[in-house]
């Protein structure tokens, strides 16, 4: 029996060629980072097309005051929030935009499952949300090359969805 480990790092993870790929949310968890005490969203996204179809990679972002812009960008890319969700003020101008995570069960690692994002009282399920994952390869702390989801972007519109 032969094995081709081309494109697999020593930790056993497949190295995904850098680029943009269609993905959808498979699982989403919130965990607390032991070193800092900060909360982190772990979002496992599954490739829906191309040579990595069916494989999963993880996007993660801190959930702190300093990272709130990254959280909003991720929520927006996944179609969970938009400027249309901003509550209009008495002057008719867009006002606050508030959202909160809806949690399910804890897993065996102590991570809390995120099942939905609540926006203006409406629960918006996270599983199956589509996006474009921007993939890079970077060395990890031990110098081993690993795949990184740099960011999530809004999915492309198909020709049938295009308004013109």
Helix or strand (DSSP H, E) at 70: helix 68-77
Question: What are the pLDDT tens digits along the chain (164 aa)?
Answer: 887 777 777 766 778 999 999 999 999 999 999 999 999 999 999 999 999 999 999 999 999 999 999 999 999 999 999 988 988 777 888 888 899 999 999 999 999 999 999 998 999 999 999 999 999 999 988 888 889 999 999 998 543 443 43
Q: How many helices (H) and strands (E) does the chain have?
A: 1, 8
74 phi and psi, to 5 degrees?
-65, -45
Interval 109-132: pLDDT, tens: 999 999 999 998 999 999 999 999
Q: Are 114 and 160 in contact (CB under 8 A)?
A: no
Cα 6 from Cα 33, distance rounded (Å): 32
- Burial of 109: CB neighbours in 10 Å, binned 0-12, 13-18, 19+: exposed
pTM for this prediction = 0.84
CA atoms within 13 A on the CB side of 138: 8
Structure tokens at 12: 């056993």
Pairwise CA distance, residues 155 & 79, whole Å: 9
CB atoms closer than 10 angstroms to residue 99:
17
Query: H-helix or E-strand containing 148?
Result: strand 145-153
> CA torsion sign, 7 to 10 to 12 to 13?
negative
């Amino acid at each position: 029996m032969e094995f081709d480990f081309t494109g697999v790092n020593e930790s056993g993870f497949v190295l995904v060629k850098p680029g943009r790929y269609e993905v959808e949310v498979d699982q989403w968890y919130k965990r607390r980072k032991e070193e800092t005490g900060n909360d982190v969203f772990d979002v496992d996204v599954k490739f829906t097309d191309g040579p990595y179809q069916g494989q999963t990679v993880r996007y993660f972002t801190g959930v702190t005051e300093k990272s709130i812009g990254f959280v909003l960008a991720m929520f927006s890319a996944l179609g969970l929030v938009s400027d249309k969700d901003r509550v209009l003020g008495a002057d008719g101008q867009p006002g606050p935009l508030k959202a909160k995570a809806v949690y399910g069960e804890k897993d065996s690692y102590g991570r809390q499952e995120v099942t939905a994002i609540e926006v203006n009282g409406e629960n918006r399920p996270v599983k199956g949300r589509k996006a474009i994952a921007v993939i890079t390869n970077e060395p990890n702390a031990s110098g081993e090359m690993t795949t990184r989801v740099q960011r999530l972007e809004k999915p492309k519109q198909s020709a049938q969805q295009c308004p013109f």
